[in-house]
Structure 1
Amino acid sequence: MNIRNIAIIAHVDHGKTTLVDKILHHTNVFRANQETGELIMDNNDLEKERGITILSKNVSVEYKGVKINVIDTPGHADFGGEVERVLKMADGVILLVDAFEGPMPQTRFVLQKALQLKLKPIVVINKVDKANCRPDEVHDAVFELFFNLDATEEQLNFPTYYGSGKNGWFNDSVTQCEDITPLLDGILKHVPEPQIPEGNLQLQITSLDYSTFLGRIAVGRVARGSIKENQPISLVQTDGSIKKSRVRELYVFEALGKKKVTEVEAGDICAVVGLEDFNIGDTIADFDAPEALPVISVDEPTMNMLFSINNSPFFGKDGKFVTSRHLRDRLIKETEKNLALRVVDTDSADSFLVYGRGILHLGVLIETMRREGFELTVGQPQVILKTVDGKKSEPYETLVVDVPQEFASKVIDLVTRRKGEMLIMETKGDMQHLEFEIPSRGLIGLRTQMLTNTAGEAVMAHRFNDYKPWKGPIPGRNNGVLIAKEAGTTTGYSLDKLQDRGFFFVDPGEDVYKGMIIGENNKPGDLVVNPNEGKKLTNMRASGSDAATSIAPKTLMTLEECMEYIQQDECIEVTPNHIRMRKTYLDEEDRKRFAKSMKADGVA
């Protein structure tokens, strides 16, 4: 049977998962009366809530007697590690581009990886039904991008399709047609069949799956030879060591599920059951004469955070997993399938340094652990510094912001204050398109401020660029915080009296502890307050003096917003039911001693 392996890559929100939906519906994967909903591939709870793809997934459809393996990939730069490894399974890529926004930073990042792997590209310009779209300009911009990324002559001669994923049509011109048949025909025509070299079995594990019945499952594409059920094999690990093992069961992808088979030929993607102690990047090879495939290389992480056990007074109230052993085992388990993540032990047995690609990458890990029942404390995200040519260097990113023209000056001011330099400023329709080069440190906390200053209109995206010399200190949060003086339950009476001091992250009736951050101060500098004071009741009453207190509702902050908000001497307590910010040292005297020692280190 003919096979085509294709990955769909695009910037976040350009419509990858919607396109996969349309392919599934068009190839009659579902019964006519079956309820499927939208964004079928985003089946993880976090993906549904956030409307983004976090994990890459495989799906297989049959069209005109040809099996098409489709790989849906994440669009956020933070999950680039997912994309880099799954592209190894593909022979071609569909590059999906928004007809208004055009190529964005993440488009460039993933396309570069695909072109380096010599994959055949098909360009799809989506959302041509939107007002103010500009498909011809976007096509020219895509061509320019290919040229800048040193695409080969053959890759530059890419076919282009236009359409609307939402309305379910794609054509080789801007003229609307019935459905997505022209695009599927284009996949069969332009994507090459897998090229199979001579030789015995080679299969590189590029993805992991897990089943409560079968345990860990290795997923990858058979590069050469064939793999059979019950076959003895050699597992060549990334460090060069070889383990002997046996294939217990074999599955191929069919529609949204898997089908059990006895043999898989080279070129197809399969799932292997029965192997133990394998990792992504290992090669399943011939039993007698094993040959390893090149190790998958993933870009280095650019940010780290300190993960510790929860040592607050509310420790153990919510979570099931609270010890350092639980925390360590879970983090090590995550590194097996999350290639861009690193975990390093620290001097303390209760703390671990976790390295990742960005705030969203680490935030999704923390949120997943929280839902699994873990309690932990995380510190302020820090960028990873290196010494390049004898100079202290830090990671820089390319930041792209699309914003209405009246807010452009505010955006430029915000970014330049954080040591960003403007590279491009141009008008796209009624939006201003701005591109900056900015240290990664400057991006921490920027999104919240930018959305506030542009009335929520700014669309920003960024990707890692390179390590460059250190730019000097960047101003952090302007205002101090309000800190609870003692443990207790907050009262409306007390919060009402403190309202002129700032705004709150707690409502009346919530439990707080000494050293917990309960609000933001209106001025620089931290302020210790007592939110638990009750009203002294007497028998005397005066008309009007007991009018109901009117307290502004608390400010709700997401986990990522908290990660961007906290400073060096603060941390976040994460439990299954609560996300609280607190000072690292809960006692005021300890905080003063810590501040003094920091000052002394700075002088030294």
Structure 2
Amino acid sequence: MTSIRNVAIIAHVDHGKTTLVDKILHEAKLFRDNQETGELILDNNDLERERGITILSKNVSVTYKDVKINIIDTPGHADFGGEVERVLKMADGVILLVDAFEGPMPQTRFVLSKALQLGLKPIVVINKVDKPNCRPDETHDAVFDLMFNLDATEEQLEFTTVYGSSKQGWMGPEWENPTDNIQHLLDVMVDEVPEAPAPEGTPQLQITSLDFSNYVGRIAIGRLVRGKLTENMPLGIAKRDGSIKRVKIKELHVFEGLGKRRVEEVVAGDICAITGIEDFEIGDTITDFENPDPLPRIAIDEPTMNMLFTINNSPFFGKEGKFVTSRHLRDRLFKETEKNLALKVETGDTEDKFLVYGRGILHLAVLIETMRREGYELQVGQPQVIFKEIDGVKCEPIETLVIDVPENLSGKAIELATQRKGELLIMEPKGDMQHLEFEIPSRGLIGLRNNVLTATQGEAIMTHRFKEYAPFRGPISGRINGSIISVENGPCTAYALDKLQDRGTFFVEPGDDLYGGMVIGEHSRPNDLTVNVQKGKKLTNMRSAGADDSAKLAPPRRFSLEECMEYIQKDEYVEVTPESIRMRKIYLDENERKRMEKKD
């Protein structure tokens, strides 16, 4: 029987987790020498590749020196915390990957604290030591301090450190002496990570993630903690409400390389995928039906933000999408909750409205982006944070915000964060950058990234993660400027835009098709302005000097999906279709808007 090691790789966003996994896969000779693999093999959906972040945890396995190593790639983003906690349950050890220049970051702290609580011993990999002005030794000390602050045990603090550069494909015991491969890291993994225990007894497996196949339906993935599983074995599944339901395993698969291999039997300690089980959810335990012994359920962080999702009812409805009705939207959202644990969906006050609860703007934006790529049309309202009453006090979610910014621009960043009720806790130099840490309400983060990037000429690096619920900090002023709104339907003209340039910044360019009530720019004043940008130039056959000066237009300001979500006000929607993202007023007619304002 082969020995098994289950290892999770944890790190902050962009510290090189997925690149390191690529190198491990190559080192273990998983591919033919002439096989084209590309970069970032594990980030296999388009969204992950474009954004350069891991969203879904993945499982792969390699065999090294007759030891099977199951590697679990975890998301580094706090918005996907629901994923991280589950997958750590499958691991016996963790590799903590830290950037040699940036050192431990807030998300590193978040994932590491979860791993230490589960009693996992980390192997620290200090990556990117080839970067200029990196500080591997200082980073090592910072990791030790962080673990000490997180109440690590004596044994956890005696961690092994490996230095290297996953991009250049080497890992070694010292950063001054580069090696020419990453075998040192694989040796450390085999030596340091405890062998997966394989106790005898009745089977016990907690479902920690899901997969879906059009041929066999839902697939349960988890680590077999005890006993053996065989094909066609009759078992029980322990549900959330305490009931036990009879099930039968149809097929068993273990992870091998990037794929799965069908097996007849799985022994304790291995991670496997099971088909043939219906009606299960994450956290359920597969166990013996006669003598059930369920494992404790996984607690998932609660959502901190909600957004209204509704069908697209703009004049451009149905032009670009395949799925446009409320039934399509309802089915898709409820299907998402099956595998996206940190997401909650409630039906709204009418049939076509849904309140979707998530962990943050990025969490919700990834869902919306995935849906529009699948051909859905929908509209979303302004994100709202979720308030709670704790001991009779109104409380709101507070986040830890870290901004790294060039020294000469740090004043601007501090000013913007404190305007939004942020409290500056730490300010220290980090190389030629200033490192700022704040405690800020989640409400204050909405729209902050745009402002900080504008004020620092795009040089600031911002990260944040949920800390706790704390007493309400009072009102925060939102966007100061009003919107410029189109009054007519039809394409806009350069002539009209040219005449209106001094009124504000525009988000559209000549020839764009617009409709009345669409937000097409930002007014230079606090009030909304309704304009006619469809007006053409009156043509005559008279010539006059200077009459034919062509319009000189500033380029339009373009928004990403997240920027739109952060930008809109209470009375606006973002309209999302497979081809375009537009902002609009909820009430398209100007008279109706005025009536509604009076009601408020």
Which TM class, normalised by the smaller chain length? over 0.9
Correspondence for 1:274: 276
Q: CA deviation at 1:519?
A: 0.8
Correspondence for 2:504: 502
Structure 1 unmatched runs, 5+: 599-604
CA distance in 1, matches of 2:598, 2:104: 49
1:46-65 equivalent positions in 2, closer than 5 A: 46-65=47-66
Correspondence for 1:601: none
Correspondence for 1:424: 426
Q: CA deviation at 1:587?
A: 1.4
1:331-410 equivalent positions in 2, closer than 5 A: 331-410=333-412
Correspondence for 2:106: 105
Correspondence for 1:116: 117
Tell whether the 8 Å contact from 1:11 to 1:97 is kept in structure 2 after alignment: yes
Correspondence for 1:4: 5
One-letter identity of the residue aligned with 1:454: T
Equivalent position to 2:588, from 582, 586, 589 = 586
Tell whether the 8 Å contact from 1:120 to 1:192 is kept in structure 2 after alignment: no
CA distance in 2, matches of 1:133, 1:334: 41
One-letter identity of the residue aligned with 2:128: K
Correspondence for 1:88: 89
One-letter identity of the residue aligned with 2:88: L
CA distance in 2, matches of 1:84, 1:337: 14
Correspondence for 1:566: 568
Correspondence for 2:253: 251
Please tell me whether residue 290 in structure 1 is matched to residue 281 in structure 2: no
CA distance in 2, matches of 1:520, 1:211: 46
Tell whether the 8 Å contact from 2:199 to 2:268 is kept in structure 1 after alignment: no
Correspondence for 1:146: 147
Please tell me whether residue 38 in structure 1 is matched to residue 39 in structure 2: yes
Tell whether the 8 Å contact from 2:198 to 2:267 is kept in structure 1 after alignment: no
Tell whether the 8 Å contact from 1:92 to 1:192 is kept in structure 2 after alignment: yes
Offset from partner CA, 1:179-216 (integer Å, 9 cap, x none): 11111110011100123344201111111112222221
Please tell me whether residue 231 in structure 1 is matched to residue 233 in structure 2: yes
| SS at 1:108 equivalent | helix
Tell whether the 8 Å contact from 2:571 to 2:586 is kept in structure 1 after alignment: yes
Correspondence for 1:527: 529
Correspondence for 2:22: 21
Correspondence for 1:200: 202
CA distance in 1, matches of 2:129, 2:277: 47
Aligned alpha-carbon RMSD (Å):
1.1
Correspondence for 2:68: 67
One-letter identity of the residue aligned with 2:469: Y
One-letter identity of the residue aligned with 2:344: R
One-letter identity of the residue aligned with 2:61: S
Offset from partner CA, 1:437-462 (integer Å, 9 cap, x none): 11111110111111111111111111
Correspondence for 1:169: 170
| SS at 2:89 equivalent | helix
Offset from partner CA, 1:442-492 (integer Å, 9 cap, x none): 110111111111111111111101111111111111111100112122112
Correspondence for 2:309: 307
One-letter identity of the residue aligned with 2:386: I
CA distance in 2, matches of 1:444, 1:235: 42
Tell whether the 8 Å contact from 2:237 to 2:286 is kept in structure 1 after alignment: yes
Q: CA deviation at 1:7?
A: 0.3
Correspondence for 1:550: 552
Q: CA deviation at 1:363?
A: 0.1
CA distance in 2, matches of 1:89, 1:567: 43
Q: CA deviation at 1:135?
A: 1.2
Using the TM superposition, name which of 231-240 and 202-211 deviates more.
Answer: 231-240
CA distance in 1, matches of 2:230, 2:17: 34
One-letter identity of the residue aligned with 1:152: T
CA distance in 2, matches of 1:21, 1:327: 36
Correspondence for 2:415: 413
CA distance in 1, matches of 2:150, 2:25: 32
Offset from partner CA, 1:360-407 (integer Å, 9 cap, x none): 000000000111111111000011101122111101011111111011
How many residue pairs get aligned? The number is 598
Percent of residue pairs identical? 70
Equivalent position to 1:537, from 534, 539, 544 = 539
CA distance in 1, matches of 2:301, 2:241: 18
| SS at 2:371 equivalent | helix
CA distance in 2, matches of 1:493, 1:192: 72
TM-score (structure 2 length as normaliser): 0.98
Tell whether the 8 Å contact from 1:6 to 1:91 is kept in structure 2 after alignment: yes
Correspondence for 2:213: 211
One-letter identity of the residue aligned with 1:479: N
Equivalent position to 2:473, from 468, 471, 474 = 471
CA distance in 2, matches of 1:293, 1:92: 20
| SS at 1:514 equivalent | coil
One-letter identity of the residue aligned with 1:190: E
CA distance in 1, matches of 2:544, 2:235: 88
Tell whether the 8 Å contact from 2:3 to 2:196 is kept in structure 1 after alignment: no
